[in-house]
Amino acid sequence: MKGLNSTCQQCPGGHLIPLQRRNFMQVGALSVFGLTLGDYLGKKARAGEGDGRSVSGNKAKEGQAKAVIQIYLPGGSPHQETWDPKPDAPVEYRGPLGVVKTKIPGVVFSEYLSKTAQVADKMTVIRSIAGRIPDHAQAAYHMMTGYLPTPAIQHPCMGSVIAQQFGPKNNLPPYVGVPNVQPAGGTGYLSSKFGAFEIGADPGQAGFKVRDVTLPKGIENEQFNRRKSARDAVEAHFKSMETDPRALDAMDSFYQRAYNLISSPAAQKAFTLDDETTQMNALYGTDMRDTRSGAIAGIGKRLMMARRLVEAGVRFVSVSYGGWDLHVNVKDNVARQLPAFDHALAGLITDLDQRGLLDSTIVMVMSEFGRSPKINTDAGRDHYSRCFSVALAGGGLTRGQIYGSSNSTASEPDVDPVPVEDMLFTVYNQLGINADERLMAPGDRPIDIIRGGKLVKGIVAKA
């Protein structure tokens, strides 16, 4: 199987949309508050970057949900082998896996989601997501932004919108990628200062250490402060020149957040797993391995890191896991990846609930689309966007519910279809963000956060 950001060989040019990933700060890589002078000048006003101010002037107010943990399964995970099995369908539709009963009466999940089945009473699974595009890059863009791709403009993902609406908290970046964000997880027309901080290393691997959050060896606090003063002088010089104020604002934010992070022991502690107990590691299944390669799966510690980050104040954490473009041999490829995911997800939901964080944290498991209803001649399933599932938990959403349903072959929504836009609109609503709000894009062009989205009232818990 391929890596996190790749697609299968049957899908040439899978990532067709040139979406840039930007880290808003890389302290060590910048020679400790070093963009070089050339880099600094080169960062002037990135083309197509808007200030993102609200057209109405209204400011978002925090809702019940304070944070989101987005768990992204790249490639298109099969809803039939995860959240929406069809045990009574003909074998060519049913597929090769069995099912397991959940805590929700009458509801079953895939046999490899046995631990998550035991926390299903804390979850809502939407089985009637109605997508539109069976292309990896374009469908991922739709799921991340709520918009269909267009060459005219690039839209910001949810993480960047949340960063723009609420900003940082407790000296931590508001948007973090573990270990990285997907290509569609960019800032779009918003300023690059609302981009993700990508930790750049897998918490599940030996020797894990987050880059760029501590002073490099040989740099003492006195040197640190001298360099900060020198950079302030350079910035003042550029401010006296005819330089695009948007670029200076982004750079000022870039450096200030870097200073705050590198000088805050509490913030740095959020990026380490050293003090996690044996019991906590067992809860997340951090020792589980890919059954084919024998390598540590990594998802347990990625989700443990995500919990630490939202507990410390990060507002949006994007976690990627696995490769789910299963055109070939869906049985074995699900069997080698899903058990570790199952253990980690159940651990995350249990942990958040025990800490009193689940009611204020939305856990969102998603993929760019589902898989075809019928098993193909290679014992796999092909791309399919017309009906698939998204699993949710926390943040004031209902508990113990299957919302909507697919038909008998999981090929079409049968009851309560949920467009992608409506699902994202509802998550924004729980955070206190009015997704009908319009943000200012380049050229003073107002654009809705989500255009045409509606609240899915049936998944919002009644107060």
- For residue 308, being part of any structural domain is answered with yes
pLDDT at 292: 86
Confidence of residue 264 (pLDDT cuts 50, 70, 90): confident
More confident residue, 292 or 383: 383
Number of Cβ within a 10 Å radius of residue 454: 15
* Residue 237 falls inside a structural domain: yes
CATH number for the domain spanning 202: value is: 3.40.720
* 23 confidence band (pLDDT: 50, 70, 90): very low
Cα→Cα distances 107→104, 254, 406, 428, 460, Å: 6, 48, 13, 28, 20
Q: What is the pLDDT of residue 256?
A: 66
Span 130-146, mean pLDDT?
A: 98
Give pLDDT tens digits for 363-393. Answer: 999 999 999 999 999 999 999 999 999 999 9
3 half-sphere exposure, CB direction, 13 A CA radius? 5
Kindly state the helix (H) or strand (E) to which residue 438 belongs, with its residue range.
Answer: strand 438-441
Q: Is residue 256 part of a domain?
A: yes
- Does residue 235 lie in a domain region? yes
Q: What pLDDT sits at residue 3? A: 36
User: Quick one: pLDDT at residue 357?
Assistant: 98
State residue 198 phi and psi, 5-degree precision. -95, 125
Q: What is the pTM of this model?
A: 0.86
CB 404 within 8 A of CB 413: yes
Separation of alpha carbons 363 and 384, rounded Å:
24
Residue 127 has pLDDT above 60, yes or no: yes
Distance CA 288, CA 337 (A): 10
Domains held by the chain: number: 1
Mean pLDDT of the chain: 85
Hunting for tokens 């040197």 — which residue is that?
223
Rounded CA-CA distance 156/60 in Å is 17
Q: What is the percent of the chain where pLDDT is above 90?
A: 70
Average pLDDT over residues 14-32: 39
12 pLDDT above the threshold of 50: no
**Whole domain around residue 293: which residue ranges?**
42-454
Residues 36, 57: Cα–Cα separation, whole Å? 36
Any domain includes 291:
yes
| Across 71-75, 119-123, 198-202, least confident range | 198-202
What DSSP string describes 226-278?
A: HHHHHHHHHHHHHHTSS--HHHHHHHHHHHHHHHHHHT-HHHHHHT--TT--H
Note whether residue 1 is domain-resident.
no
Domain contains 25: no
Q: Is the pLDDT of residue 358 over 50?
A: yes
Task: Identify the pLDDT of residue 211.
Answer: 65
Mean pLDDT (whole number) for 427-433: 98
Interatomic CA distance for residues 82 and 338, integer angstroms: 8
In the prediction, which pLDDT does 252 show? Answer: 59
Residue 34 lies in a domain: no
CA distance 371 to 369: 7
- Over the stretch 301-346, which tens digit does the pLDDT of each residue have? 999 999 999 999 999 999 999 999 999 999 999 999 999 999 999 9
